[in-house]
Amino acid sequence: MRAPHTDREYEAELALLRQRVRAMGAIVREMLVGGVRALVDGDTVRAQAVIDRDEEIDRLEVELDEQCLRVLARRQPVASDLRLIAATLKLVTDLERMGDLCGSLCERVIELAAAAPQTPAGSLPLMAAAVEAMVLDAIEAFVTGDAGLAEQVLTRDDLVDSYFAQLLGELFADMMAQPAAIYRATRLTSVAKYLERIADHATNVAELAVFMVNGEDIRHRHRSRAPRI
Amino acid sequence: MSMMMAQSKSESQPIPVTPPRAAVAPGIKMEAKGLKAWFGKSQALKGIDLPLAENQVTAIIGPSGCGKSTFVRCLNRMHEVVPGAHATGTVTLDGADIYGAGTDPVLVRRRVGMVFQKPNPFPTMSIRENVLAGLRLNGRRPADAAALVETSLRQVALWDEVKDRLDRAGTSLSGGQQQRLCIARALALEPEVLLMDEPCSALDPIATARIEELIHEIGQRYTIVIVTHNMQQAARVSHYTAFFYMGELIEHAPTDRMFTQPSNPKTEDYITGRFG
């Protein structure tokens, strides 16, 4: 456990920053878990509740940005403090985009429910579970400063990409077999793409966690390309 | 749109890479090995091994009493001037031990100049006489004193401010100008190494910025060692930083690395303000 800063006000400022990062991460986690549950259950009420939480994410993004700038201007942080601020400035963008993608996912859930409620078949639940676990662990790694957990998250993006490729194949096959499935399949294709993007943002968060802890920039070393649609 | 993109692509040039400040591995101008220093029975330095890169700026940081001023005063044999003070170990300048038998400390100090915390122009001397004072104290008479005064004052960006009042007292200048005058006085001796012991701690932010700009300028031609309590200043002006604590060298690294990714937890605690 590192000693606190001699300047207790500075220590409190950084503690507040970490607290807000934790809160923003918790909301993103809840949005993703709620969105996946709404998708599996065809639950439009839950989906709308997730969409409504996006405002909280947007507010925290602005607040955290402002707080980071204040610390930079007033404290001139260095070393691990500087890495915390630099990483947080990037993290909030990833978290905000994850929130947006959860919102988009829930919009598709509402459209799907209005058309013909059906349990999504195939690889989608497996993919959703893998993405959920990545997001939970990436955020946990960042807020607790666990570089080992972050490194472990980075190894899982390939699995999500392979689920994504598999799912696209299943959905294209559905569409070719029965044109009536096109409306549903195109929305599920979008959902799969959102999940794949969320996993990419989780990868970014894990990379930021490693940078914050070790000062090592490991971006672009772990990426394999997801199929483009 | 696509045409614009195609055009901009065809005209694109490779983006120049910003080199780190110490892009080329520099030579070693001075080097302390096993340097220990005492004031009477009190040991101030406990065996310092530290190379000083040629024509680069090295900052020494650390809390009060860590030995950083003692260290720089050992680099031009000023430490031994204090009654009861002595040092052991070696300090080489271009490979030759400045503590070697038969080495004249006065000659060492001519090659290794020093600027102090408080601007200290000679109060009874004019600006011109102050610039030449170091030479005269060394018994040297420059062939063209006027040219030397101008060159020295231009090097510290003071010439335009004082050229019409060279006969006025050095103490008539502002604090920042006085400090630049003292640097000009040190440079007039054409030293190879310049030691600066908290040169800005008595100056306002604008005067400090001028001295820092000056360090950037002359740092390309001189080997500079600056002691500072101001860590942002160390981060701004130096290529290398050395962190001293309780008479020991804790870490010595390129400044960019020291302030983003220090390797020793004591350095991390000190520069992030977690001491005491």
A19-28 pLDDT per residue, tens = 999 999 999 9
pLDDT > 70: what percent of chain A?
93
Rounded CA separation B273/B78 (Å): 31
Separation in Å, CA of A23 to nearest CA in chain B:
25
Nearest CB partner across the interface for B269, out of A3, A83, A215: A3
The confidence score (pLDDT) of residue B25 equals 58
Separation in Å, CA of B262 to nearest CA in chain A:
7
Report CB contact under 8 Å: B272, A215: no
Report CB contact under 8 Å: A3, B261: no
Is B61 touching A (CB cutoff 8 A)?
A: no
Q: Are B167 and B128 in contact (CB under 8 A)?
A: yes
Q: Give contacts of A 4-23 with B, CB under 8 A.
A: 4-7, 10
Please identify which residue in the block is written with the tokens 């335009």.
B160
Q: Is the dihedral of CA B185, B187, B188, B189 positive or negative?
A: positive
Rounded CA separation A64/A161 (Å): 31
* Confidence bin at B1 (pLDDT 50/70/90): very low
Rounded CA separation A42/A50 (Å): 13
The average pLDDT across A22-50 equals: 94
Q: Which of B114, B181, B111, B118 is nearest to B152 (CA)?
A: B181
Sequence-ordered list of residues with C-beta below 8 angstroms from that of A134, at least 6 positions apart, any chain? A153, A156, A157, A160, A199, A202, A203
Domain boundaries, chain A: 8-214
CA A168 from chain centre, in angstroms, equals 21
Q: How many other CB atoms sit within 10 Å of the CB of residue B33?
A: 14
SS3 B54: coil
Nearest CB partner across the interface for A6, out of B261, B267, B274: B274
Rounded CA separation B269/B253 (Å): 16
SS3 B39: strand
Report CB contact under 8 Å: B260, A83: yes
Separation in Å, CA of B63 to nearest CA in chain A:
13
Rounded CA separation B25/B241 (Å): 15
Q: Are A100 and A197 in contact (CB under 8 A)?
A: no
Nearest CB partner across the interface for A80, out of B231, B232, B272: B272
pLDDT > 70: what percent of chain B?
91
The confidence score (pLDDT) of residue B138 equals 79
Residues of A within 8 A of B272 (CB-CB) are: 5, 77-81
Please identify which residue in the block is written with the tokens 């060279």.
B166
Report CB contact under 8 Å: B274, A3: yes
pLDDT of A226 over the 60 cut:
no
Is B64 touching A (CB cutoff 8 A)?
A: no
Q: What is the pLDDT of residues A95-123, one digit of tens each?
A: 999 999 999 999 999 999 888 656 556 78
Sequence length of chain B is 276
> Would you say the ipTM is above 0.85?
no
The average pLDDT across A39-51 equals: 95
- Give chain A's mean pLDDT: 91
pLDDT of B23 over the 50 cut:
no
pLDDT of B24 over the 60 cut:
no
Q: What is the pLDDT of residues A133-189, one digit of tens each?
A: 999 999 999 999 999 999 999 999 999 999 999 999 999 998 999 888 899 999 999
Report CB contact under 8 Å: A3, B268: no
Please identify which residue in the block is written with the tokens 């209005």.
A114
Q: At what angle do helices A157-177 and A182-214 cross, to 10 degrees?
A: 170
Tokens of A153: 């998250």
The confidence score (pLDDT) of residue A224 equals 55
CATH of domain A8-214: 1.20.58.220
Q: Are B187 and B151 in contact (CB under 8 A)?
A: no
Is B231 touching A (CB cutoff 8 A)?
A: yes
Residues of A within 8 A of B267 (CB-CB) are: 79
Report CB contact under 8 Å: A79, B271: yes
A32-36, A210-214, B66-70, B132-136: least confident range: B132-136
The confidence score (pLDDT) of residue A139 equals 94
Report CB contact under 8 Å: A82, B268: no
* Confidence bin at A227 (pLDDT 50/70/90): low
- Count A/B contacts: CB-CB distance under 8 Å: 39
Nearest CB partner across the interface for A2, out of B259, B260, B274: B274
Is B272 touching A (CB cutoff 8 A)?
A: yes
- Type of residue numbered A69: L
Report CB contact under 8 Å: B272, A4: no
Q: Per DSSP, what are the bridge partners of residue B42?
A: B39
The confidence score (pLDDT) of residue B135 equals 86
Is A78 touching B (CB cutoff 8 A)?
A: yes
Separation in Å, CA of B232 to nearest CA in chain A:
8
- Give chain B's mean pLDDT: 90
The confidence score (pLDDT) of residue B6 equals 47
Please identify which residue in the block is written with the tokens 């942002």.
B232
- What single string gives the DSSP state of each residue in B80-130? GGSTTEEEEEEEEETTEETTSTT--HHHHHHHEEEE-SS----TTSBHHHH
* Confidence bin at B20 (pLDDT 50/70/90): low
The average pLDDT across B61-67 equals: 95
CA dist B84 to A184, B42, B45, B88, B103, Å? Answer: 90, 10, 15, 14, 20
Q: At what angle do helices A79-115 and A8-41 cross, to 10 degrees?
A: 20
The confidence score (pLDDT) of residue B3 equals 45
Residue bearing the bigger pLDDT, A46 or B203? A46
Q: How many other CB atoms sit within 10 Å of the CB of residue B81?
A: 10
Separation in Å, CA of A77 to nearest CA in chain B:
7
Separation in Å, CA of B236 to nearest CA in chain A:
12
Nearest CB partner across the interface for B274, out of A5, A82, A215: A5
Q: What is the pLDDT of residues B125-175, one digit of tens each?
A: 999 999 999 888 878 888 899 999 999 999 898 999 999 999 999 999 999
Where is B33: in which H helix or E strand? Answer: strand B28-39
SS3 A142: helix
Q: Are B85 and B38 in contact (CB under 8 A)?
A: yes
The confidence score (pLDDT) of residue B5 equals 45
Separation in Å, CA of B272 to nearest CA in chain A:
6
Nearest CB partner across the interface for B268, out of A6, A7, A80: A80
Domain at B2-17+28-122+189-271: CATH architecture: 3-Layer(aba) Sandwich (3.40)
Sequence-ordered list of residues with C-beta below 8 angstroms from that of A121, at least 6 positions apart, any chain? A170
- Per DSSP, chain A holds a count of helices (H) and strands (E) of 8, 0
Q: What is the pLDDT of residues B249-262, one digit of tens each?
A: 999 999 999 999 99
The confidence score (pLDDT) of residue A221 equals 72
Residues of B within 8 A of A78 (CB-CB) are: 231, 235, 259-260, 271-272
Suggest the residue from B232, B238, B257, B261 to mutate for an interface test with chain A (most A CBs closer than 10 A): B261
The average pLDDT across B19-34 equals: 76
- Type of residue numbered B114: M
The confidence score (pLDDT) of residue B26 equals 72
The average pLDDT across B1-18 equals: 54
Residues of B within 8 A of A10 (CB-CB) are: 273
pLDDT of A66 over the 50 cut:
yes
CA-based end-to-end distance of chain A: 47
Where is A56: in which H helix or E strand? Answer: helix A54-75
